[in-house]
């Protein structure tokens, strides 16, 4: 299987932005093992801004774009350094790919992206993708890695897109506010009723919320890729997901 796994800042970092070492170690171990079992893995990783905030001791996510971009530039290094170190322990080679929206909108650059990704996967490397926050300005920004991961899943013809987040999946109501909220295990059609369940924003350091995840689900399923939203707290669940054991919320592709 070709699987795109997107991991959010809330999964990778502690509340202050510093890296959650135990979590990232576990994630790299499971992904390495899934790769050893013959799956192709593409990782879309957030956390650059969050980790830059931690490393620069900024205290909280900045609101102005230049400081966000500076934080991302610092944090992206820490992210890739850590991924390289951890995946190397399991004998896997990582590749950094940074994208902006205009890369996808431009036919020529999009085709370059395709070619590089195909070649990286043929060579057995593990591409780790993030938005190129340093040069993304407000007008050309993809803005959130949920959307970016859906673009990547569509462009690479992935079999499955998994969004690991700090929530178990899509609920019938906000589970933080409503005790009767129930997890929806399967979505076969992203109807207006489903879209209406989006609720508000995400965590303090992350960017997306349920709205961007549902948009990602729409893009992925329309292109023939199933998508799962699951809690990234315990990366072991990826084994279950690959074994087709129901977990989180699964959005079935329209094809
Ligand atoms: N590109 C952002 C970062 O690495 C993440 C955007 C998101 O949280 O979706 O911090």
- Picking from 40, 1, 46, the residue whose alpha carbon sits closest to that of residue 24 is 46
Mean pLDDT of 236-243: 96
More confident residue, 96 or 142: 96
Task: Supply 214's token pair.
Answer: 């549902």
- pLDDT at 254 (0 to 100): 83
Determine the Cα–Cα distance for residues 45 and 47; give it in Å rounded to an integer.
7
pLDDT in tens, 108-148: 999 999 999 999 999 999 999 999 998 887 666 777 899 99
The two beta strands, 160-165 and 94-99, are unpaired
Q: Which atom of ligand 1 is nearest to the CA of 133?
A: 1
In a 13 Å sphere around the CA of 170, the CA atoms on its Cβ side amount to 26
pTM: 0.93
Packing angle, helices 145-155 and 210-222, rounded to 10: 10
Mean pLDDT of 26-46: 97
Across residues 46-70, what is the average pLDDT?
Answer: 91
Among residues 84, 58, 81, the alpha carbon closest in space to that of 70 is found at 58
- If you take atom 2 of ligand 1, which residue's CA is the nearest one? 46
| Residue 13: strand pairing partners | 19
The full set of domain ranges for the chain reads 2-251
Ligand 1 is surrounded, with C-beta below 6 A, by: 8-9, 46-50, 72, 130-131, 133, 144-145, 206-208
- Partners of 7 in beta bridges: 45, 164
Mean pLDDT of 147-170: 94
- What is the CA(102)–ligand 1 centre distance, in A? 17
Q: What pLDDT is attached to residue 136?
A: 81
What confidence category does residue 209 fall into, taking pLDDT thresholds of 50, 70 and 90?
confident
Per-residue pLDDT, 15: 83
- Dihedral class, residue 56 (left if φ above 0, else alpha if ψ from -120 to 50, else beta): alpha
- The whole-number pLDDT of residue 230 equals 96
Using the atom order of ligand 1, give the atom closest to the CA of residue 212.
9
Question: How many CA atoms does the CB half-sphere of 24 hold within 13 Å?
Answer: 25
Please report the pLDDT score of residue 232 as a whole number. 93
Q: Quick check: 18 and 9 in contact, CB under 8 A?
A: no
The CATH architecture one would assign to domain 2-251 is: 3-Layer(aba) Sandwich (3.40)
């Amino acid at each position: 299987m070709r699987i795109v796994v997107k991991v959010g800042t809330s999964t990778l970092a502690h509340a202050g932005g510093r890296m959650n070492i135990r979590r990232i170690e576990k994630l790299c171990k499971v992904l390495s093992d899934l790769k050893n079992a013959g799956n192709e893995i593409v990782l879309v990783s957030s956390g650059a801004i969050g980790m830059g905030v931690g490393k620069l001791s900024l205290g909280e996510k900045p609101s102005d774009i230049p400081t966000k971009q500076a934080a991302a530039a610092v944090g992206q290094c820490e992210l890739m350094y850590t991924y390289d170190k951890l995946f190397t322990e399991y004998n896997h080679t990582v590749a950094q790919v940074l994208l902006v929206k205009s890369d996808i909108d431009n036919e020529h650059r999009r085709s370059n992206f395709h070619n590089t990704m195909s070649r990286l996967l043929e060579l057995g490397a593990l591409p780790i993708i993030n938005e190129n926050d340093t040069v993304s300005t407000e007008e050309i920004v993809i803005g959130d890695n949920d959307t970016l991961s859906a673009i990547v899943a569509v462009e690479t013809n992935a079999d499955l897109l998994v969004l690991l987040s700090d929530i178990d999946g899509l609920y019938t109501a906000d589970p933080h506010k409503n005790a009767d909220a129930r997890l929806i295990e399967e979505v076969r059609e992203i109807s207006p009723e489903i879209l209406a369940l989006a609720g508000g924003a995400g965590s303090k350091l992350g960017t997306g919320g349920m709205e961007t995840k549902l948009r990602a689900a729409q893009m992925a399923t329309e292109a023939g890729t199933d998508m799962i939203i699951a809690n990234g707290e315990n990366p072991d669940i990826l084994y279950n997901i690959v074994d087709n054991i129901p977990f989180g919320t699964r959005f079935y592709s329209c094809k």
